[in-house]
Structure 1
Amino acid sequence: MNVSKLMVVGAGQMGSGIAQVAAQAGLKVLLHDTQREFAERGLGTISKNLARSVEKQKISADDKELILSRISLSTDLADAKEVDFVIEAVTENMAIKTEIFRQLDEICPPHAVLASNTSSLPITEIAAVTRRPEKVIGMHFMNPVPVMKLVEVIRGLQTADEVYLLVEALAKQMGKVPVSVNDFPGFVSNRVLMPMINEAIYCVYEGVASPEAIDEVMKLGMNHPMGPLTLADFIGLDTCLYIMEVLYEGFGDSKYRPCPLLRKYVKAGWLGKKSGRGFYVYE
């Protein structure tokens, strides 16, 4: 099966990035969100990213217009009736995701593949709400999508081999490196990353060192490009907490217990960069 038209559900940071790389790869893209203003904001982000690439002479102004011309906006999920492939990129919440997959299963043509950009939730469980579990798969892109090369490709229990091969080829077409990962909580990226972030938060909580000192140790001592607490603020502390809870619940192991300080910050509305305050203060 050839993928010529693709829908991205969710026009936030991840969704708009996925839409951008798909359009750059020559695909027709429907960028969907519940409200027109959200979809337009996502398109504005793409336009800004491409303008930056023009300034850096990575692409021409004509290239930018051609890429943007491949993207249409949608506020009606029924538009999925014309697409070959859907990538869902909404908030990391099982109830919300499964409801979207139920609807997409009803709307999409029988050949369409349904992929989730979930960063931690089980693909098998998402697939189970559809009548096409063999055509459901995980495609976990990294943030920021236009820059980061990795895509974790996660097969559910019933995902067909040909669907995996199609997704692998599609990821490569988008300029990404697909890596096959089995369907376990947090996959590989967040199963390794989130406990490290959580442990860094415990170091603040227990007074081992300041956030600045912890980040400096990891940057200078472990050659990380960004400290774990800066990274947590960038990801969103609510997202970090949610993924830690998925790991804790999924494995039932105390090593995944979210730090009480992480819970406190989220309850206070200190969600990181997006709220203006997390472990650091943002203007």
Structure 2
Amino acid sequence: MQRISVIGSGTMGNGIAHTFAQHGFEVALVDINAAALASARATIASNLDRQIKKETLTETDKQLILNRITTYTDLAAGVRNADLVVEAATENEQVKRSLFEQLDKQCAAHTILASNTSSISITKIAAATQRPEKVIGMHFMNPVPVMKLVEVVKGHSTSTDTTAEITALAIQLDKIPVEVNDYPGFVANRILMPMINEAVYSVYEGVADVEAIDNVMKLGMAHPMGPLQLADFIGLDVCLAILRVLYEGFGNPKYAPCPLLVNMVTAGKLGRKSGQGFYTY
């Protein structure tokens, strides 16, 4: 693989593009919004500057990395020569299925189609294509350039060759790939989101305040940040969407989102990205 297309230039998309470019790949970063693409390039440049300050990169390295990233607002042009497409669009099943249907028609026959989805079924996404054996989950963690884990999610029809190729690719990116099967929430969010939901319930039921709950988990369980601070970092809307996938996928009331979380998202309090969540930013 030499040519990578990344669909979506938000937090995850620009981090994925940054990581591939830093490891020598030619990257096409695709978004329908030109302003979002400009913002993504600025974010990548800023993050590279941090690496320069830490003396892990030079100014020359930074320019080489940025030169490997080309932006597109036209999907067909952005994926035309791709060996791999990594989709990092909105965490919405219908959006992803529609996008993969388009990608299937516009990409070369050899192209592997990967989704960075944090919870949506790879099997359902693959069913929108005529190449389900070449559809796979490649779930990076945020911030992508820093976090080592990549969940490699095998859909029902994902081939052994595709899984092996993506696993090897993750290692090329200096990541640690972990293969998981395609069930709601995979592993990371199946375990993480109920913990976050329980923390929200603890606020909702008046067990303790936000800071106390986070301090218990940081100081008692050695978590680098508390579950409510982490929820703000992820985005409360994203947490809610994942919990709904878990609840609908398993039909188990233990995954039902806390009413407080639902109300906060409805009120537009989404965490860091909106300036207000469990904390004020």
1:32 alignment partner in structure 2: 30
Question: How big is the shift at 1:36?
Answer: 1.0
4+ residue runs over 2 A deviation: none
1:204 alignment partner in structure 2: 203
SS at match of 1:147: coil
Worse-matched range after superposition: 196-205 or 155-164: 155-164
Alpha-carbon distance between aligned partners in 1 of 2:97 and 2:39, rounded to the nearest angstrom: 25
2:156 alignment partner in structure 1: 157
Alpha-carbon distance between aligned partners in 2 of 1:82 and 1:162, rounded to the nearest angstrom: 21
SS at match of 1:137: strand
Task: Please say if 1:105 is aligned against 2:87.
Answer: no
1:77 alignment partner in structure 2: 75
1:195 alignment partner in structure 2: 194
Alpha-carbon distance between aligned partners in 2 of 1:267 and 1:35, rounded to the nearest angstrom: 25
Question: How big is the shift at 1:234?
Answer: 0.6
Alpha-carbon distance between aligned partners in 2 of 1:215 and 1:52, rounded to the nearest angstrom: 28
Question: How big is the shift at 1:72?
Answer: 0.3
Task: Please say if 1:229 is aligned against 2:233.
Answer: no
Q: Percent identity?
A: 59
Alpha-carbon distance between aligned partners in 1 of 2:225 and 2:55, rounded to the nearest angstrom: 27
2:12 alignment partner in structure 1: 14
Alpha-carbon distance between aligned partners in 2 of 1:8 and 1:184, rounded to the nearest angstrom: 24
Question: How big is the shift at 1:112?
Answer: 0.2
Deviations 1:30-71 (A, max 9, x none): 001011111111111111010111111111111111111100
Q: What is the one-letter code of the residue matched to 1:135? A: K
Matches within 5 A, 1:1-283: 3-79=1-77, 80-282=79-281
Question: How big is the shift at 1:5?
Answer: 0.4
Alpha-carbon distance between aligned partners in 2 of 1:262 and 1:140, rounded to the nearest angstrom: 24
Question: How big is the shift at 1:144?
Answer: 0.4
- The normalised TM-score by structure 2 is 0.99
Question: How big is the shift at 1:170?
Answer: 0.9
Question: How big is the shift at 1:266?
Answer: 0.5
Question: How big is the shift at 1:213?
Answer: 0.3
Alpha-carbon distance between aligned partners in 1 of 2:43 and 2:184, rounded to the nearest angstrom: 31
Deviations 1:226-251 (A, max 9, x none): 00000000101000000000000000
- The normalised TM-score by structure 1 is 0.98
Alpha-carbon distance between aligned partners in 1 of 2:139 and 2:29, rounded to the nearest angstrom: 18
Query: Which segments of 5 or more consecutive residues in structure 2 lack a partner in the other structure?
Result: none
Question: What is the alpha-carbon root mean square deviation over aligned residues?
Answer: 0.6
Number of residue pairs matched by the alignment: 280
Question: How big is the shift at 1:25?
Answer: 1.0
Query: Which segments of 5 or more consecutive residues in structure 1 lack a partner in the other structure?
Result: none
Q: What is the one-letter code of the residue matched to 2:81? A: E
Alpha-carbon distance between aligned partners in 1 of 2:30 and 2:38, rounded to the nearest angstrom: 10
Question: How big is the shift at 1:167?
Answer: 0.2
SS at match of 1:101: helix
SS at match of 1:82: coil
